[in-house]
Amino acid sequence: MLDKLDKIEQRFEEIETKLCDPAIISNRSEFTKLSKERAEIEALVPVHREYKKILADIVEYEETLSDGDPELKELAEAELPELRGKKVALEEQIKILLLPKDPNDTKNVILEVRAGTGGEEAALFAADLFRMYGRFAESKNWKVEVMSNSTTDGGGYKEVVASISGKEVFSNLKYESGVHRVQRVPATESQGRIHTSAVTVAVLPEAEEVELNIDEDKELRIDVMRAGGPGGQCVNTTDSAVRITHLPSGLVVICQDEKSQHKNRAKAMKILRARLFDKLQAELHAERAADRKSQVGSGDRSERIRTYNFPQGRITDHRAGLTVHKLDAMLAGNLEDFLNTVRAYFQAETLKEQNRE
């Protein structure tokens, strides 16, 4: 492990030097490539340096124990347990940092939030969740663009699809895919009974054209139609809505939010690419996991991943066994600590799985 870390630090220093070279700076593709590689290994370098220092200190104090000076021996005996504890903690941190990187972590995402069981209450909670993610995105300086949505008379969402772009969006949101359950008393409930509703969330990494080859002439059927909805200027008077059907998979995407047919088509293609890319990755994941007795963190969207209990003000993530009583704060977009804990859980599970294999 030390040899590997030494090579990573050496490579990091090489990249740092190259990124200061005017010839590299003027070569946009090479500069981008090196910057990306630097970002992937940057977190390891300070941890490795601290680990080497801890190892050196442990050796020094262990040598002190054989020294004749009683005061130095007493100091060494007092310091060594703490240093050894730090060494173990750093080793665990390094193992996680050395885990293979998810190639999708740096990608933008298509976020899909849909009301499930629970009627209007589920639709209202879908709106709550979408606002929560929007506020979190704002805190991260990400850009959110609604691609399509279907609302209810009560102000909820039957479905809302949005593009979120920024730094490491997928890395932050990828474990949000699944069924989110809400327990609360609806505003229309006169007897104060708690109702349980569900919303499904899908977080799809955006697919680049080079990653997904679609033969538009042979694989797509594109229909243009009148936009539905509540009416308004131009909405029902022009054939601006676009429905794209991917014939091999049967996936269908409809976009009608824009007045421009061209813009709706572009949005629909963006969503279709993300859904196809996600489908292909899910199939690949299933193939790789076929011989395992159990899957860790499958991300199956049929799985209930979280419960939001309003009467008790708590949120529970059932995968990580994590419960916090900060429901209002989290719905306001303060998700950072919670998502980091969930991510750490999955990293630890991946590490356990790797050790078993």
User: Is 70:45 a contact under the CB 8 Å cutoff?
Assistant: no
Q: What is the pLDDT of residues 284-321, one digit of tens each?
A: 666 545 533 333 333 344 468 999 999 999 999 999 99
Q: What is the pLDDT of residues 95-152, one digit of tens each?
A: 888 877 788 888 899 999 999 988 899 999 999 999 999 999 999 999 999 988 888 9
> Tokens in use for 288?
């790789």
Residues 6+ apart with CB under 8 A from 273: 206, 207, 209, 212, 214
Sole residue written with tokens 């740096």: 106
| pLDDT at residue 298 in the model | 38
Residues 6+ apart with CB under 8 A from 347: 96, 99
User: Is 301:178 a contact under the CB 8 Å cutoff?
Assistant: yes
Q: What share of the chain is helix, strand, coil (3-state, %, to 5)?
A: 50, 20, 30
Please tell me whether residue 110 adopts helix, strand or coil conformation.
Answer: strand
Q: How many residues does the chain have?
A: 357
284 and 239 part of one domain: yes
Lowest-confidence region among 259-268, 312-321, 323-332: 259-268
206 and 217 part of one domain: no
> Tokens in use for 102?
């998810």
- Is the pLDDT at 33 greater than 70? The verdict is yes
206 and 324 part of one domain: yes
204 and 314 part of one domain: yes
Residue 336 CB: number of other CB atoms within 10 A?
A: 13
| pLDDT at residue 254 in the model | 86
String of DSSP letters for 3-71 = HHHHHHHHHHHHHHHHTT-HHHHH-HHHHHHHHHHHHHHTTHHHHHHHHHHHHHHHHHHHHHHTSS-HH
For residue 238, the enclosing domain spans 212-289
318 and 205 part of one domain: yes
197 and 311 part of one domain: yes
8 in any annotated domain: yes
* CATH number, residue 90: 1.20.58
Q: Which of 44, 73, 97 is the last residue of a domain?
A: 97
* Alpha helices, DSSP H, located in 98-185: 119-139, 169-173
123 and 197 part of one domain: yes
| pLDDT at residue 285 in the model | 66
Rounded to 5 degrees, φ, ψ at 356 are -65, -40
163 and 275 part of one domain: no
294 in any annotated domain: no
String of DSSP letters for 167-213 = TTHHHHHGGG-EEEEEEE--TT-TT---EEEEEEEEEEEPPPGGG--
| Number of domains into which the chain is organized | 3
Q: In whole angstroms, give the CA distance from residue 137 to residue 156.
A: 20
297 in any annotated domain: no
> Tokens in use for 342?
């969930």
252 and 262 part of one domain: yes
193 in any annotated domain: yes
342 and 196 part of one domain: yes
335 in any annotated domain: yes
Q: What percent of the chain stands above pLDDT 90? A: 39
* CATH number, residue 277: 3.30.160.20
237 and 149 part of one domain: no
Measured in whole angstroms, how far is the alpha carbon of residue 34 from the centre of its chain?
24
Q: Looking at the whole model, is its pTM more than 0.75?
A: no
296 in any annotated domain: no
337 in any annotated domain: yes
187 in any annotated domain: yes
- DSSP one-letter code for 234: T
| pLDDT at residue 15 in the model | 93
- CA within 13 Å, CB half, 316: 10
> Tokens in use for 345?
């859980």
Q: In whole angstroms, give the CA distance from residue 61 to residue 75.
A: 8
| pLDDT at residue 301 in the model | 42
Q: In whole angstroms, give the CA distance from residue 175 to residue 169.
A: 11
* Closest among 208, 115, 206, 129 to 163, alpha carbons compared: 206
Identify any residues that bridge with 148 across adjacent strands, giving them in sequence order.
161
pLDDT tier, 235 (very low <50, low <70, confident <90, very high otherwise): very low
Task: Work out the burial of residue 316: count CB atoms within 10 Å of its CB; fewer than 13 is exposed, 13-18 middle, 19 or more buried.
Answer: middle
Q: Which of 97, 128, 150 is the last residue of a domain?
A: 97
* CATH number, residue 163: 3.30.70.1660
Q: Which of 264, 289, 314 is the last residue of a domain?
A: 289
Q: What is the pLDDT of residues 44-67, one digit of tens each?
A: 899 999 999 999 999 988 888 877
> Tokens in use for 247?
């014939």
224 and 328 part of one domain: no
- Is the pLDDT at 82 greater than 80? The verdict is yes
Sole residue written with tokens 């131009």: 234
> Tokens in use for 348?
């630890």
